[in-house]
Chain A
Amino acid sequence: MANESRRQQSRGAKSGRSPWREQAESYLSHHHKVARDSARRLWQSPLASMMTWTVMGVALALPVALMLLLASLEGVSAGWESSARVTAYLGDSVSIDEAQALKATVTDDSRVAEVELIDRDTALEEFRASSGLEDALDYLDENPLPHTLLVTPSESSRTADGVEMLLTVVEGLDGVERVQVDLGWLQRLNAMTDLLGRAVWALAMLLAAAVVLVIGNTVRLAIENRRDEILVAKLVGGTDAFVRRPFLYTGAWFGLGGGIVALILLQLSLWWLSGPVERLAGLYRSEFSLNGLSLDGALALIIAAMLLGWLGAWLAVKRHLDDIEPGEIAGG
């Protein structure tokens, strides 16, 4: 027996002596072969593969499209933030001189870039011109409008918080009756994009899980179809890694196809929507524009898709492949 074990060891030593370079080459060429073979199998059942790719593509395109939309919206809110202005209505009893003094005080504040004073007469003129209520206004005995200060925040204060700060400062001034800003609207948009962002991430997670499960199930079927092959491979001494490899590649190829379908879907919808979006943005004089995926983004999407496919395959393989043991083929 001792002789035998020595013999076996020398067998082992013999394979170990072959240069590692050759081993590595053979390992790589095996990977290459398995990868090509897995891809070829997908091509051989084009309809089934196409369906899996499409399901995956839709599931991936949806959250990515929402993320792109959200990124565009955030761009818009950034644009509006910079044009936020605080409007301060002064009390009725404040004279034009006092208003000038107030304007000077506010201008001195470092958070303020510019202050414009609109006296009550000018305000009435403007109102008369823009409201179309000229006749009605003629019936009024006196001008109901107060003097108004239009305060533009300085560059550094053009954030939601900065504008809010400025608002409280101006509100606290003597003679200021009421202040108003489009901040409420701004905050709503901010809160909304925030909330939407979270919702999109949650959706993305759910859809990623769905993708993993779809691929897992598809790979499970592939494992069933190749049961005999797996049995024989295990019988002749194939390691778990060897037996899993083709299925992991299958998962990754499903991911690649799904990623490409997602990119195509995104590009198509972008192209389909870009006309109407431009017209709409034009109507609102907004800088809003829909941006597609950058090259980096597209690459990241494809890599993420392949990883998801690989993960799905890995779960299926973990769950179903280790169960297949060649004991059953030895028979009675």
Chain B
Amino acid sequence: MIEFRQVTKRYGSDHTALRQVNFGLERGELVFLTGHSGAGKSTLLKLIMVMERPSAGEVIVGGQVLNTLPRRQVPYIRRHIGVVFQNHQLLFDRTVFDNVAMPLEVMGTPARDIGRRVRAALDKVGLLSKEKMNPLQLSGGEQQRVGIARAVVNKPPVLLADEPTGNLDPDLSADIMRLFAEFSQVGVTVLIASHDIALINDLGRRTLTLDHGRLTAGVGAAGSWHG
């Protein structure tokens, strides 16, 4: 589903954020991405989102080589990738429902389908009763779940999360991880960047570890990606 081939990312001429990164993720896999601060985790996710372009190597998502993707094609790739950030980027000038509906609106989904799918996504994260509220009225954990609902509302085959449990308490974090695990069970490829080593070890999933831009562990854990 996602493949990196000898990917190097340099910022400016001197700073190298990623060095010759190689790995592959299968459909339905849930994988963690760890590493010290500044190791290049967010950079790696941005390359998948085409927010950044690699300096060398190839990034392939769903069989599409993203390096040469023309700018105007980028939105269509992003529609296949759900993202969740620590700072969840909800909009406070509209309701929870309207926040979750955004990915469907940009795709031009007919209005009645929007209602059905937004409610399905909110139900999934346990917030169906709060669809009419403003995100400001929700707790941090609830806001994070709205962000997740928005990321999955159009059923993307790939879900990326950058520190999704950053400032949540352990119970909430575990809840959210359970949600991600559910998505991966229905075939979504999930990649979660996180510092939370304890949580990651608990779950015992494949883990990619970055150290100063180099991938030091987890490359072949799933074994079959190069087939």
Contacts and interface: CB of A to CB of B under 8 A. Distances in A.
B44 to A, nearest CB: 11
Contacts of A327: 46, 51-52
A11 B77 CA distance: 12
Nearest to A236: B103
A161 interface: no
Contacts of A3: 27
B79 A25 contact: no
Interface stretch (B81-89, B118-126, B203-211, B215-223): B81-89
Interface stretch (A26-34, A84-92, A313-321): A26-34
A30 B150 CA distance: 19
Given A228-B91, A236-B102, A4 B108 contact: no
Central interface residue in A7, A26, A231, A235, by most chain B CB within 10 Å: A235
Interface residues of A, number: 36
Contacts of A30: 105, 108
Nearest to B78: A237
Given A239-B75, A326-B51, A26 B108 contact: yes
A283 interface: no
A330 B75 contact: no
By size class, the interface of chain B is: 35 or more
Interface stretch (B57-65, B136-144, B175-183): B57-65
Contacts of A331: 42, 85-87, 162
Nearest to B113: A26
A7 B157 contact: yes
Nearest to A30: B108
Contacts of A15: 107
Interface of A is mostly: helix
A5 B27 CA distance: 11
A22 interface: yes
Contacts of B63: 1-2, 4-5, 8
Contact of B102 (A1, A2, A25, A232): A232
Interface in B1-52: 1, 3, 27, 37-38, 42, 45-46, 49, 51-52
A236 B98 CA distance: 13
B108 A237 contact: no
Nearest to A12: B76
Contacts of B105: 30
Contacts, number: 100
A292 B62 CA distance: 64
B106 A330 contact: no
A253 B195 CA distance: 49
Contacts of B37: 332
Given A1-B63, A330-B46, A331-B162, A233 B110 contact: no
A182 interface: no
A242 interface: yes
B185 interface: no
A239 B72 contact: yes
Central interface residue in B45, B49, B85, B105, by most chain A CB within 10 Å: B105
A287 interface: no
B80 A8 contact: yes
A238 B101 CA distance: 12
B106 A238 contact: yes
A15 B63 CA distance: 19
Contacts of B51: 325-327, 330
B198 interface: no
Nearest to A1: B63
Contacts of B75: 234, 237-240, 242
6 contacts: A3-B27, A237-B76, A237-B77, A240-B72, A327-B51, A332-B38
Interface of B: 1, 3, 27, 37-38, 42, 45-46, 49, 51-52, 60, 62-64, 72, 75-80, 83, 85-87, 89, 91, 93, 102-103, 105-111, 150, 157, 162
Given A229-B91, A238-B102, A330-B42, 12 more contacts: A30-B108, A234-B75, A235-B83, A236-B78, A236-B106, A237-B75, A237-B79, A237-B106, A327-B52, A331-B42, A332-B37, A332-B38
Interface of A: 1-5, 7-8, 11, 15, 22-23, 25-27, 29-30, 228-229, 231-240, 242, 325-327, 329-332
Interface pairs A-B: 6 shortest CB-CB: A5-B63, A237-B79, A237-B78, A238-B106, A327-B51, A236-B103
